[in-house]
Amino acid sequence: MATVGKRYRALVKELNKDEPLAPQQALALMKEKANAKFDETVELTVALGVDASKGDQMVRGVVALPHGSGKTPRVAVFARGEMAQEAEQAGADEVGAEDLVKKIDEGWRDFDILVASRELMRMVGRLGKKLGPRMPNPKSGTVTDEIGKTVAELKKGRVEFRMDKGGVVHAPMGKASYTVEQLLENMTALLSVLLRARPASAKGQFLRKITLSTTMGPGIPVDPTLAREMAEQ
């Protein structure tokens, strides 16, 4: 751990956190500094201009990244009949109905994302207190009757994002091994969806602060105005 600490401090020293960079510059610098012994995940962190205490200003959604997130999520699906078959054919890791509800109720958590057909949501609802934000939700596209399509998109790299209590969104957007162009396209797609998810009641600047980072690297500030202009093109 001492080695990681020294490496991190050295990287931080080289950065000027008071000077936000254009998206492409920030990505190039981030790739230059990503020298861990594994393929680090790239994360985009966005502080939003919302009142996180107000329910009507909650921001959440999904985005299909053009080049995927670099990770294949484990997807569990609540479905019966033809929809269950669609889920299995699309690559779902676990498919079930009452049996899957019971399994999760007893503590099973070997999944990253849960998807449910609309007809089973009443039954799945009993898991609400145990699953919290991991519950399937229509707003994130995980309560749907297009089960096969949804599972296939999730397996290819569709990313779900949700604002935390501080009004900040954290979302994976690829790997350090991706090219700058690939990361830029993923970043543009993510910010475009985020902008469309802006609550009608939010006032002032919506994208207040944007930071790029890798798993082991420091945050690199991105100019929010330039990032917004890129996403709106």
Residue 218 CA: distances (Å) to CA of 10, 24, 141, 206:
10, 17, 32, 24
- Give per-residue pLDDT as tens, 148-160: 999 998 998 888 8
Task: Report which of 102, 104, 144 is spatially closest to residue 120, judged by C-alpha positions.
Answer: 144
Rounded to two decimals, the pTM is 0.77
Residue ending a domain, among 103, 123, 156, is 156
Domain limits at 142?
75-156
Quick check: is 52 in a domain? yes
Residue 55 confidence (pLDDT): 87
Same-domain status, 84 and 151 = yes
* Same structural domain, 84 and 147: yes
Assess whether 29 and 99 both reside in one domain: no
Question: Pick from 156, 172, 193: which residue ends a domain?
Answer: 156
pLDDT < 50 stretches in the chain: 1-4, 7-8
Instruction: Please give the backbone phi and psi of residue 77, each rounded to the nearest 5 degrees, phi first.
Output: -130, 130
Residues 122, 164, single domain; the answer is: no
CATH number at residue 50: 3.30.190.20
Domain annotation covers residue 1: no
Q: Is 231 helix (H, G, I), strand (E, B) or coil?
A: helix
DSSP string, 159-176: EEEE--TTSEEEEEEEET
Q: Are residues 137 and 198 in the same domain?
A: no
Which of 159, 181, 155, 191 is CA-nearest to residue 172? 159
Task: Please tell me the predicted confidence (pLDDT) of residue 2.
Answer: 41
